[in-house]
Amino acid sequence: MTQRRFPAGFWWGAATAAYQIEGAVDVDGRVPSIWDTFCAEPGRVAHGDTGAEAAQHYRRYREDVGLMRELGLGAYRFSISWARVFGGETRGLDFYDRLVDELCAAGIKPVATLYHWDLPQSLEDGGGWLARATPERFADYATAAAERLGDRVALWCTVNEPWCSAFLGYSSGAHAPARAEGAAGLTAAHHLLLAHGLANLAVRAAAPDALVSCALNQGAVRAVSDSPADLDAARRIDGLLNRLFVDPILRGAYPEDVLEDTRTVTDWSFVQDADLKAISTPIDVLGVNYYQPDLVGAAAEPQTGPWPFPGSTGVAFHKTPGPLTEMDWTVDPSGLFELLTRLKRDYDVPVMITENGAAYADVAADGRVADPDRIAYLDGHLKAAHDAITAGVDLRGYFVWSLLDNFEWALGYGKRFGIVHVDYETQRRTLKDSARWYRDVIAANGL
Ligand code: FCB
For each of the chain's 447 residues, which pLDDT tens digit applies?
Answer: 558 999 999 999 999 999 999 999 999 999 999 999 999 999 999 999 999 999 999 999 999 999 999 999 999 999 999 999 999 999 999 999 999 999 999 999 999 999 999 999 999 999 999 999 999 999 999 999 999 999 999 999 999 999 999 999 999 999 999 999 999 999 999 999 999 999 999 999 999 999 999 999 999 999 999 999 999 999 999 999 999 999 999 999 999 999 999 999 999 999 999 999 999 999 999 999 999 999 999 998 988 889 999 999 899 999 999 999 999 999 999 999 999 999 999 999 999 999 999 999 999 899 999 999 999 999 999 999 999 999 999 999 999 999 999 999 999 999 999 999 999 999 999 999 999 999 999 999 999
Does residue 118 line the site of ligand 1, with CB under 6 A? no
Does residue 401 line the site of ligand 1, with CB under 6 A? yes
Partners of residue 11 on adjacent β-strands: 397
Residue 304 has a pLDDT of 87
Q: Write out pLDDT tens, residues 200-219.
A: 999 999 999 999 999 999 99
Phi, psi at 296, each rounded to 5°: -130, 145
Distance 18 CA to ligand 1 centre (A): 12
Question: 133 with 126: CB under 8 angstroms?
Answer: yes
Residue whose CB lies within 8 A of the most ligand 1 atoms, among 117, 356, 409, 416, for a mutation test = 409
161 Cα nearest atom in ligand 1: 8
> What is the CA 170 to chain-centroid distance, rounded?
17
Question: 21 with 54: CB under 8 angstroms?
Answer: yes
Does residue 55 line the site of ligand 1, with CB under 6 A? no
Please confirm, yes or no, whether 338 is among the known catalytic residues. Answer: no
Q: Annotated catalytic residue: which of 161, 326, 338, 408?
A: 161
Residue 53 has a pLDDT of 98
Smallest CA separation from ligand 1 atom 9, residue: 17
Question: 58 with 23: CB under 8 angstroms?
Answer: yes
Distance 267 CA to ligand 1 centre (A): 31
Give the C-alpha separation, 183 to 187, whole Å: 7
Residue 303 has a pLDDT of 86
Does residue 86 line the site of ligand 1, with CB under 6 A? no
Please confirm, yes or no, whether 408 is among the known catalytic residues. Answer: no
Q: What interhelical angle do 91-105 and 133-149 show, nearest 10?
A: 50
Does residue 16 line the site of ligand 1, with CB under 6 A? no
Does residue 163 line the site of ligand 1, with CB under 6 A? no
Pick the CATH number of 11-444 from 3.90.25.10, 3.90.1150.10, 3.40.50.920, 3.20.20.80: 3.20.20.80
Phi, psi at 324, each rounded to 5°: -115, 145
> What is the CA 413 to chain-centroid distance, rounded?
18
359 Cα nearest atom in ligand 1: 6
pTM: 0.98
Smallest CA separation from ligand 1 atom 5, residue: 401
217 Cα nearest atom in ligand 1: 7
Q: What is the 3-state secondary structure (H, E, C) of the chain?
A: CCCCECCCCCEEEEECCHHHHCCCCCCCCCCCEHHHHHHHCCCCCHHHCCCCCCCCHHHHHHHHHHHHHHHCCCEEEEECCHHHHHHHCCHHHHHHHHHHHHHHHCCCEEEEEEECCCCEHHHHHCCHHHCCHHHHHHHHHHHHHHHHHCCCCCEEEEEECHHHHHHHHHCCCCCCCCCCCCCHHHHHHHHHHHHHHHHHHHHHHHCCCCCEEEEECCCCEEECCCCHHHHHHHHHHHHHHHHHHHHHHHHCCCCHHHHHHCCCCCCCCCCCCCHHHHHCCCCCCEEEECCCCEEEEECCCCCCCCCCCCCCCCEEEECCCCCECCCCCECCHHHHHHHHHHHHHHHCCCEEEEECCCCCCCCCECCEECCHHHHHHHHHHHHHHHHHHHCCCCEEEEEEECCECCCCHHHHHHCCCCCEEEECCCCEEEEEHHHHHHHHHHHHCEC
Sequence-distant (6+) residues with CB within 8 A of 282 are none
Length of the chain: 447
Handedness of CA 199, 205, 210, 212 (dihedral sign): positive
215 Cα nearest atom in ligand 1: 8
Give the C-alpha separation, 348 to 334, whole Å: 19
Smallest CA separation from ligand 1 atom 2, residue: 161
Domain boundaries, the chain: 11-444
Q: What interhelical angle do 184-206 and 244-251 show, nearest 10?
A: 40
Give the C-alpha separation, 447 to 437, whole Å: 10
Residue 313 has a pLDDT of 87
Pairing type for strands 395-401 and 294-298 reads unpaired
Give the C-alpha separation, 130 to 185, whole Å: 8
Does residue 168 line the site of ligand 1, with CB under 6 A? no
Does residue 78 line the site of ligand 1, with CB under 6 A? no
Does residue 294 line the site of ligand 1, with CB under 6 A? no
Give the C-alpha separation, 237 to 220, whole Å: 10
Distance 446 CA to ligand 1 centre (A): 25
Question: 447 with 3: CB under 8 angstroms?
Answer: yes
Give the C-alpha separation, 309 to 238, whole Å: 10
Residue whose CB lies within 8 A of the most ligand 1 atoms, among 118, 167, 401, for a mutation test = 401
Cis peptide before 177 (omega within 30 of 0): yes
Question: 420 with 431: CB under 8 angstroms?
Answer: yes
Distance 175 CA to ligand 1 centre (A): 12
Does residue 326 line the site of ligand 1, with CB under 6 A? no
Residue 2 has a pLDDT of 58
Question: 61 with 102: CB under 8 angstroms?
Answer: yes
Question: 415 with 370: CB under 8 angstroms?
Answer: no
Cis peptide before 269 (omega within 30 of 0): no
Torsional class of 252: left (φ above 0), alpha (ψ -120 to 50), beta (otherwise): left
Does residue 400 line the site of ligand 1, with CB under 6 A? no
Residue 1 has a pLDDT of 52
